[in-house]
Every structure is written in structure tokens, then in C-alpha cells.
A and B are shown apart, each in its own frame.
Chain A
């Protein structure tokens, strides 16, 4: 008997592929509830992409939230259970308010987290899996790398009240306003030029590295760049480095993230489909200092990209008329299925994508 073909579509298909990839590397599936106490998100609002959280009260008056994020729950669980080295992946629906219409959106998100002592290998493993995840979606992809140490080193000589404004400009590659803000606040011109050049920097990793070296000042930046260079060398030896770019304009919240941060793009999707980084500081905040790193893949962004995700079509449409013996319909369908075909049984022979299926008619009118 022929194996029935699984007809996974769009985001389900990618979720399945990514799941296999993560299990290969020994990551275990993490399953969570649809909701979580709101307090968890309220305490860590800046860790979330959007602060529009959908809340409701349970019968005891506890404020709950439809989960907008999975990482916080995984971290909370890991901290509470006292596990020393956790490698998990998830395939979960998250809920956010989105767009101008402020509609509640249900987003399928796949990702992984590694919580425990991090060294060069562990960091490279997470990035390698990010590279492979993007590759599984489309061979034409880009993974942009940056490092929080580069950003904080870059802003070290600038008063803290300007950091937020400047980080926003950096994230927009807005060099002209960086220079303007710095001039208004009497920041040394050399420093201003360096921040502006860093924001504009974008190139494949080896080229960008040379340019970045000219922008380094201080140990923090030096160490960050050094770490990125080591990561690049490891990934190159694995044959996974040709799509890596260096981009200082990736900005994640400095209160949670430290170390490497990254964003992934696939051709044809206008926004990042993958985002992640090192977030030891979240663990510190939760009272269990250790290393942590992970990423999420936003499968909802792939909807518009996946052209093949059309309506599921059966190989054969089996039509019957009134008066046909149901047992005969079953028997015929079973025979077709045993040949490995998918069968759509219908009493309406005119409907259903006629061109793609072979119609077998049964009953009074059948010839």
C-alpha cells in the first residue's frame, strides 16, 4: 500500500522542518499553556517586541494574558525548576495586537532557547541553527550579526540621556540625524562621525569587519568585534558563513540583551523573519544568573511568501448521485486510497476544482 502523502501547508510545513532540525541537535520540545500570569510580562515589558498584551481575569481575579512571547515562560520555568542546562525548542501560537486596525493576531512562532553556561561552541551552535533555519525556508537568505558590546562601546563617551534617541537613529541607519543630535549636544565630532559611520555600515562579514575595525574605540568594542570574528571563523569552517553580514543597526534592549544579536531575512519577505540573541541579563534579573541565547522564527511573515499554499486538492473527486449505495462509495474510495490517491467524496460533481481531479461518477446517471 502506498504511503499517504502529508499535505502540510505554509507555516505548518516550515514548523515541521525546523522541528526536525532542532531535534537533530538534541533540543527538546517545550509545550506551554495558552496563557500566563500578566505580571510576568508586566515586569519585563521591554523584553517584548510589542507591549500590546491581551489580558483577561480568571475566576479568582488574577490577571492573565494570552501569551505574546514564549521565551519569558521558558526562562521562568528553567529558573523555577533549577535545571542547569536547558536546550528547548517550541512551536507555539502567540497573540499580539497588530496593525492599524488593532486586531488580535494569532501568530505561529517557532524558536529555540539554550539556557546554561555559554561558550564559543554554544553561541556558534545557536547561530548555526539560525542559519540552517533560514536555509530551510529559502536558499536565498541573509543573516545579519551584531553585538551589544559594539553598541554600548560606541555610545560610551556620550551622555546617557541621548542614548535612546541615538539608538533609534542607529536602527534607522539615519546618519544625518545622528550628526545633528551630536552637534546640538556638543559631542566630539570624531565620536559623532564614528556613530554615524557605524549606523551606515552594511556589508558581507569579511568586508564589514575591516570597516568596523576602523571604528573601534575601547576594550568593550574590541572584545565584541573579536568575539564576532571568532564566531565567523567557526561558522566558516562549517560552510555556513557566506550569508553572514555585519549590521550595527540591529538594536535590542540593552537591559536584557548582551553579546551577539542577529536578524534573518529571506528574499521576498519585506521584514525580518528571524530574530534572536544572547540575553544573560534577563536571567540575572530573574535571580538566576547564567548564560542564555535563542531565537524565534516568525512564520506568519511567510504567509505572503509561500505561493504554493493554495487550496488542498485531492487527486480524485469521487461523485455519486442520489440513490447510490453508501457502502459502494466507501468501497470505491478505499480502493483508490489503497492505490495511494487522496479522494474527495462529493455529491456535487460540478463543484470542486474540476480541472485537477479525475472524476469518477457513480449511481443512476453514471454511464
Chain B
């Protein structure tokens, strides 16, 4: 039992892609293919136990040691400031965190900038680094709506292709940080299951594009 590696995967397209990669480097799990309502899938032979969790919860499972390793977007790691090892950039789901606003937006230094976002920590750290005072409006979705309706001046959000922005007549004003999926490990697990985790890291690494 001790040699099993617990892996938290994000539900959805990214997670499926990651599982396909893990399967191709020797961490397959037959039970994953059967569609069922099970939450945990185990393959004793390959020494892996998978579970699907909400993407924004992956780092939490890993930080608390319920999962030894996991795959999570850099946006979530930055927002939650998770205390984990970030071992690899998988270069999946590449996009960026950016400030966007209306095409004709002009900052007014006499006013406090209103920023709508799903990522209040990232936004406040970014503007603190510029020594700019802002007011954060925390939203949970359809962020693009906020500047259109005049609720906020700008948004801080993930930009993938920019299509959504374009369709809503918004443009990227500043890039904040590039985002992609990362392979993370719990700090204590990395020590006690070092050989297995490093082996998994190396096998994944060998399969990544340069």
C-alpha cells in the first residue's frame, strides 16, 4: 500500500489529456475506462490511485497530502499560493493571465481603478507591484460583462485565443503572466515517496515537447 502514488486530476478536458499522457508512460489504470460513478480508481500493478476533483481543488488535495501529486493550472497555483513543489511545466492548456478592457479605455489617475476578476489575489498582487490603488470586484463567471456594463474599468482574466474578448469588443491591455498546466507534488510525499515521484516526473518529462 505504501508504494501507491495518489494522483489528483482535474475533471474535464485537461485532466483527460493528462491521464492519456500518464497512461502512455506506464501509469495506466484499467478501471478509469469503465464509465462509473466511482470517485477513486486504483491500479495496483502500476502503483497508482487516481481521483478526479474540481480543477480549483487539485492543489488543495495535494497541499493537504490527500494526493501525493496532481496536475493544476498555474492560474490556480498563483491565486491560492499553494505550498507545494511545482516540478514540471506540462505546456498543456497554454494561455495567459491578462488585463483587458474596452478598446477606448483610458486610465484616469484621479480615480481608483475598478477591476472585475475571478482571481482577486493575482489582480491585487499585480497592481500592488505597480503601486496602483484598485477596487476589486470578485466575480465567478462571465467576467467580460463587467466592463461592458460599466461595473468595472477593466478585468483580470485568462485569455486563451482572445475570441471571447474580440466578440465583446474588448482588448488585452497588459499581459500579467503566462499560464499552463503544472505537475505538482506534496512536500512531504516528495520526501517519503521520492523514488516513485521522481521516476514519474522523469517519465513525463521525457514525453514533453521541448
Contacts and interface: CB of A to CB of B under 8 A. Distances in A.
B187 A271 contact: yes
B194 to A, nearest CB: 7
B128 to A, nearest CB: 14
Contacts, number: 46
Interface residues of A, number: 18
Interface of A: 140, 142, 144, 172-174, 176-177, 202-203, 245, 249, 265, 267, 269-272
A269 B84 CA distance: 14
Interface size class of B (residues with CB under 8 A): 10 to 19
A82 to B, nearest CB: 39
B87 interface: yes
Contact of A174 (B65, B86, B189, B194): B86
Given A177-B89, A270-B189, 15 more contacts: A142-B191, A144-B191, A172-B84, A174-B86, A174-B87, A177-B86, A202-B194, A203-B194, A265-B188, A267-B192, A269-B65, A269-B188, A270-B63, A270-B64, A271-B188
Interface of B: 63-65, 83-89, 186-192, 194, 198
Given A202-B190, A245-B191, A265-B191, A271 B88 contact: no
A249 B85 CA distance: 9
Given A173-B86, A176-B89, A270 B191 contact: no
Contacts of B187: 265, 270-272
A130 to B, nearest CB: 15
B191 A176 contact: no
B65 A176 contact: no
Nearest to B180: A176
Contact of A173 (B63, B85, B188): B85
A265 B192 contact: yes
User: Which 9 pairs across A and B sit closest by C-beta, in order of nearness?
Assistant: A270-B65, A174-B86, A173-B85, A176-B89, A172-B86, A265-B188, A270-B188, A142-B191, A265-B191
Contacts of B64: 270
